[in-house]
């Protein structure tokens, strides 16, 4: 019973006359990608543990349109945006939390002009707030002595200047945070953004994710922490390509926290 | 009294200024070929950006060595140009060191010019070494062959020569002052040229005057030449960096603009009361072209960006695509845009202001599909640029053209977009299964 996830949907709550405080925007990766689904669940565990009043859109959620827009299909992007905005406005959504920096960026920056004005936060910011409000606590003992390096997702870092929230969480885990030579505003892309995730790379000497993984390996981490499902995939593949999967784990910050608390 | 030097000087000055203003007009016309864009927002922030980034060089020092050298040359040039004012007055009115009445303040002024001149010489030499001996990666990329490479070096040579002329002029002047030569007011202090004025020991007053006059004339003619060289060079950034940082992006880097023309269409499609089969109004303007295939499709800030680019390659040296050997180089995007814009401008020049189709465009003839599709939209180039240039926005506009006007996306991306259209996700999963994860173990 204790392990059962509580995942209310907006439709359910609405039917019973309730209005959650925050909408958890799961995103396509978080909904369908096997690796990313684990991140979604880890975050749900945290939300449940902290008794957060939240809901998901479930089958009413649709792609935010980010990959379409970055691929150049403005038309498809706006169709997606307008559809999603209609749904969210009908539920009178005010605040959104998401585990995907691409959705985060699009919802936060590109939806307002199209009629969707919400307060949008990334899950690392949200978890920090939960800690601050005392809704959850961290002992962090399980990461003592572990070296964690954090890979900045472009759409969280450079795109929106969120550099500290994820790092604050890692520091609270009692782990040793080691920085790669290119970090924060100089962080190297994992190679997935701009719709690259969905196509073969152009001809070149190396794959971008392998290059980024090499930078991570240089600082000899036990864990590569990420805050984006796409970065996670890219870095996981990079670690495999470098045959380091036995010594380096790639984990989302939500997973780090959920594991630490043994949720 | 002999007025010939004054008249020659006035003519040279006039020519220099006229030619320069002709180029400025061209520059303005070419930039205005771009589409209009509203930049009236966020005024205080824009001013702050200009002061910090252009005037304060805040982004240059991200790389400390290049940043420091650059500040020396930049400050040196601005301050030493106060001297140009004196030269112009002297030249026009036949005076000599007209500011000498400032007394000790003048001494301090000249002394600081000299020290700065020396520092500029040192920096310029180090810059040259970085380009030609150390051959820093970012200066030897494919787009830096030919003119861009020569341009980079030529600027350094001109700066070096100008500084040497300035110091030579002072050295000879100083000797003449010691000789009590007629017309050579005893003024100024010469901490640098005083040293090598020893070279002139024993020289006659007449040969010293020859040296001093030659250096003086070459110096001012050189400055006028340099001013007019700007238009043809990446060195235009010394002027355009200011407007460019003012008009640079003030929204979060991740925010890409929404196309208004598309919004209108989408709203119409979603509006249940709109008649989808209604014929367009008689006087409706032709549908706007989506995205950019040539420079006229870009907005004028993007074209200003292109003219401002100083080809430093900081963007390219941080571009993940370029770092892993892909063809994409954000610097090349900017250089191509400028080259094409120049070509269009010349076309206008020879055709009396009308653009005659030359069968070429920015897309394809300058920038290839392969380059455009290699971009991860990571914003590293935007972040790296010391003068707020946004190569990514041009890449995105051209992708829009490829996808919305030509349906020319790579097939993988077409699949992805088809999936979003049909199932609301980039993969072929059913939207009705979106919550299945909650029930899976
Ligand atoms: S946004 Fe595109 S061009 Fe700019 S650095 Fe990233 S991959 Fe390169
Ligand atoms: S775009 Fe900016 S960073 Fe890139 S070469 Fe031009 S000036 Fe340098």
Counting ligand 1 atoms within 8 A of each CB, the residue from B378, B389, B394 with the most, and so the one to mutate, is B378
Report chain B (441 residues): mean pLDDT per 10 consecutive residues. Answer: 88 97 97 96 97 95 94 90 91 93 94 95 97 94 95 97 95 93 91 88 92 96 96 96 98 96 88 67 74 98 98 97 98 98 97 95 98 98 98 98 96 97 96 94 73
Distance CA B170, CA B178 (A): 12
Residue A141's pLDDT band (cuts 50, 70, 90)? confident
How far lies B305's CA from each of B39, B365, B417, in Å? 14, 20, 31
Distance CA B265, CA B274 (A): 11
Strand order in the sheet with A249-252: A176-178, A147-150, A223-226, A249-252
Instruction: Answer yes or no: CATH 1.10.1060 is held by domain B260-276+288-428.
Output: yes
C-beta of B54 in contact with ligand 2 (< 6 A):
no
Counting ligand 1 atoms within 8 A of each CB, the residue from B254, B335, B392 with the most, and so the one to mutate, is B392
- CATH number at A46 reads 3.40.50.1860
Distance CA A50, CA B70 (A): 53
Across chain A, mean pLDDT equals 95
pLDDT in tens, A173-221: 989 999 999 999 999 999 999 999 999 999 999 999 999 999 999 999 9
Output the pLDDT for position A140: 65
C-beta of B311 in contact with ligand 2 (< 6 A):
yes
- Going from N- to C-terminal start, the domains of chain B cover 4-31+63-246, 260-276+288-428
Do A121 and A36 belong together in one domain? yes
Distance CA B397, CA B214 (A): 52
Do A71 and A184 belong together in one domain? no
Do A12 and A118 belong together in one domain? yes
Output the pLDDT for position B280: 60
C-beta of B320 in contact with ligand 1 (< 6 A):
yes
Q: For residue B309, how far is its CA from the centre of ligand 2 (angstroms)?
A: 5
Residue A1's pLDDT band (cuts 50, 70, 90)? very low
Do A124 and A22 belong together in one domain? yes
Do A45 and A121 belong together in one domain? yes
Interface predicted TM-score (ipTM): 0.96
Give the contacts of B33 (CB within 8 A, at least 6 positions apart).
B295, B296, B300, B303, B341, B344, B345
Residue range of the domain that includes A234: 137-260
In what helix (H) or strand (E) does residue A11 lie, and over which residues does it extend? Answer: helix A10-15
φ/ψ of B279, rounded to 5, equals: -70, 145
Tell me the nearest-neighbour CA distance from B193 into chain A, angstroms.
44
C-beta of B70 in contact with ligand 2 (< 6 A):
no
Distance CA A166, CA A251 (A): 12
Distance CA A186, CA B235 (A): 26
Helices A123-132 and A34-49: crossing angle, nearest 10°? 20
Do A98 and A81 belong together in one domain? yes
Q: Which site among B404, B410, B420, B425 would you substitute to test the A interface, given the most A Cβ atoms closer than 10 Å to its Cβ?
A: B420
Comparing alpha-carbon positions, the chain B residue that sits nearest to A106 is B255
Output the pLDDT for position B271: 77
Tell me the nearest-neighbour CA distance from A19 into chain B, angstroms.
20
Q: Which atom of ligand 2 is nearest to the CA of B316?
A: 4
Do A17 and A81 belong together in one domain? yes
Report which bound ligand comes closest to the CA of A204. Answer: 1
Name the domain count of chain A. Answer: 2
Output the pLDDT for position B151: 97
pLDDT in tens, A113-132: 999 999 999 999 999 999 99
What predicted TM-score, i.e. pTM, was given to this entire model?
0.95
Counting ligand 2 atoms within 8 A of each CB, the residue from B63, B306, B315 with the most, and so the one to mutate, is B315
Residue of A68, A194, A201 with shortest CB distance to B420: A68
In angstroms and rounded to an integer, the radius of gyration of the C-alpha atoms of chain A is 18
Final residue in a domain of this structure, among A129, A150, A167 = A129
| DSSP character at residue B80 | H
Q: Which atom of ligand 1 is nearest to the CA of B384?
A: 5
Do A194 and A101 belong together in one domain? no
pLDDT in tens, A76-107: 999 999 999 999 999 999 999 999 999 999 99
Query: Of the candidates B158, B165, B68, which has an alpha carbon nearest to the alpha carbon of residue B119?
Result: B68
Q: Give the pLDDT mean for A220-249.
A: 97
Report whether pLDDT(A2) > 90.
no
Residue A3's pLDDT band (cuts 50, 70, 90)? low
Q: Candidates 1.20.950, 2.60.40, 1.10.10, 1.10.3470; correct CATH number of B4-31+63-246?
A: 1.20.950
Output the pLDDT for position B243: 98
Long-range contacts of B147-150 (CB under 8 A, 24+ apart): B148/B234, B148/B311, B148/B335
pLDDT in tens, A55-71: 999 999 999 999 999 99
Tell me the nearest-neighbour CA distance from A15 into chain B, angstroms.
18
Output the pLDDT for position A183: 97
- CATH number at A156 reads 3.40.50
B374 with A202: Cβ contact below 8 A = yes
Do A98 and A143 belong together in one domain? no
In what helix (H) or strand (E) does residue A150 lie, and over which residues does it extend? Answer: strand A147-150
Final residue in a domain of this structure, among A103, A129, A155 = A129
Output the pLDDT for position B279: 63
Residue of A62, A185, A199 with shortest CB distance to B424: A62
Do A33 and A69 belong together in one domain? yes
Output the pLDDT for position A263: 73
Final residue in a domain of this structure, among A101, A129, A157 = A129
């Amino acid at each position: 019973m204790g392990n059962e996830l509580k995942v209310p949907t907006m439709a359910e709550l609405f039917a019973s006359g309730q209005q959650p405080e925050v909408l958890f925007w799961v995103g396509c990766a978080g909904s369908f990608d096997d690796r990313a689904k684990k991140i979604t669940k880890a975050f749900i565990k945290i939300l449940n543990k902290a008794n957060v009043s939240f809901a998901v859109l479930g089958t009413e959620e649709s792609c935010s349109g980010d990959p379409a827009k970055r691929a150049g299909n403005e038309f498809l992007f706006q169709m997606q945006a307008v559809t999603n905005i209609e749904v969210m406005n009908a539920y009178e959504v005010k605040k959104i939390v998401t585990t995907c920096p691409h959705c985060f960026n699009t919802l936060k920056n590109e939806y307002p002009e199209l009629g969707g004005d919400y307060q949008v936060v990334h899950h690392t910011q949200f978890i920090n707030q939960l800690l601050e409000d005392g809704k959850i606590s961290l002992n962090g003992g399980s990461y003592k002595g572990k070296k964690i390096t954090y890979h900045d997702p472009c759409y969280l870092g450079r795109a929106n200047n969120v550099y500290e929230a994820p790092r604050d969480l890692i520091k609270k885990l009692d782990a040793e945070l080691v920085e790669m030579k290119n970090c924060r505003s100089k962080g190297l892309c994992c190679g997935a953004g701009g719709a690259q995730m969905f196509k073969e790379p152009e001809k070149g000497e190396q794959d971008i994710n392998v290059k980024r993984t090499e930078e991570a390996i240089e600082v000899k981490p036990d864990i590569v922490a990420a805050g984006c499902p796409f970065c996670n995939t890219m870095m996981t593949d990079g670690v495999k390509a470098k045959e380091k999967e036995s010594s380096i784990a790639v984990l989302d910050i939500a997973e780090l926290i959920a594991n630490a608390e043994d949720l | 009294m002999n007025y010939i030097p004054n008249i020659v000087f006035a003519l040279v000055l006039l020519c220099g200024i006229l030619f320069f203003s002709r180029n400025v007009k061209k520059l303005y016309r070419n930039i205005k070929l771009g589409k209009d864009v509203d930049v009236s927002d966020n005024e205080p922030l824009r001013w702050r950006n200009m002061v910090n980034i252009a005037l304060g060089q805040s982004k240059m020092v991200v790389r400390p060595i290049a940043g420091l050298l650059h500040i020396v040359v930049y400050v040196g040039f601005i301050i030493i140009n106060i001297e140009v004012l004196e030269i112009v007055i002297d030249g026009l009115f036949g005076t000599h060191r007209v500011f000498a009445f400032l007394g000790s303040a003048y001494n301090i002024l000249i002394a600081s010019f000299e020290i700065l001149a020396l520092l500029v010489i040192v920096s310029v030499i180090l810059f040259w070494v970085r380009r030609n001996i150390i051959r820093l990666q970012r200066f030897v990329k494919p787009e830096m062959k030919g003119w861009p490479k020569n341009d980079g070096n030529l600027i350094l040579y001109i700066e070096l020569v100008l500084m040497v002329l300035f110091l030579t002029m002072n050295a000879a002047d100083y000797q003449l002052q010691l000789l009590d030569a007629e017309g050579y007011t005893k003024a100024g202090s010469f901490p640098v040229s005083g040293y090598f004025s020893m070279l002139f020991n024993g020289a006659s007053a007449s040969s010293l005057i020859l040296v001093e006059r030659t250096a003086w004339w070459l110096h001012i003619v050189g400055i006028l030449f340099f001013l007019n060289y700007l238009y043809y060079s990446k060195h235009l950034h010394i002027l355009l960096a200011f407007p460019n940082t003012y008009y640079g992006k003030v929204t979060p880097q991740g925010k890409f603009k929404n196309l208004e023309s598309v919004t209108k269409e989408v709203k119409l499609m979603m509006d249940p009361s709109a008649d989808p089969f209604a014929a367009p109004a008689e006087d409706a303007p032709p549908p706007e072209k989506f995205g950019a295939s040539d420079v006229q499709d870009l907005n004028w800030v993007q074209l200003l960006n292109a003219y401002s680019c100083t080809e430093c390659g900081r963007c390219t040296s941080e571009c993940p695509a370029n770092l892993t050997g892909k063809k994409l180089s954000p610097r090349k995007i900017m250089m191509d845009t400028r080259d094409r814009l120049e070509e269009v401008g010349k076309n206008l020049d020879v055709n009396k202001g009308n653009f005659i189709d030359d069968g070429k465009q920015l897309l394809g003839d300058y920038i290839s599909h392969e380059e455009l599709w290699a971009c991860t939209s990571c914003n590293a180039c935007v972040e790296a640029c010391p003068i707020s240039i946004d190569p990514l926005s041009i890449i995105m506009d051209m992708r829009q053209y490829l996808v919305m006007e030509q349906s020319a996306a790579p097939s993988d991306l077409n699949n992805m977009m088809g999936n979003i259209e049909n199932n609301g996700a980039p993969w072929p999963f059913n939207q009705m299964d979106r919550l299945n994860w909650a029930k899976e173990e």
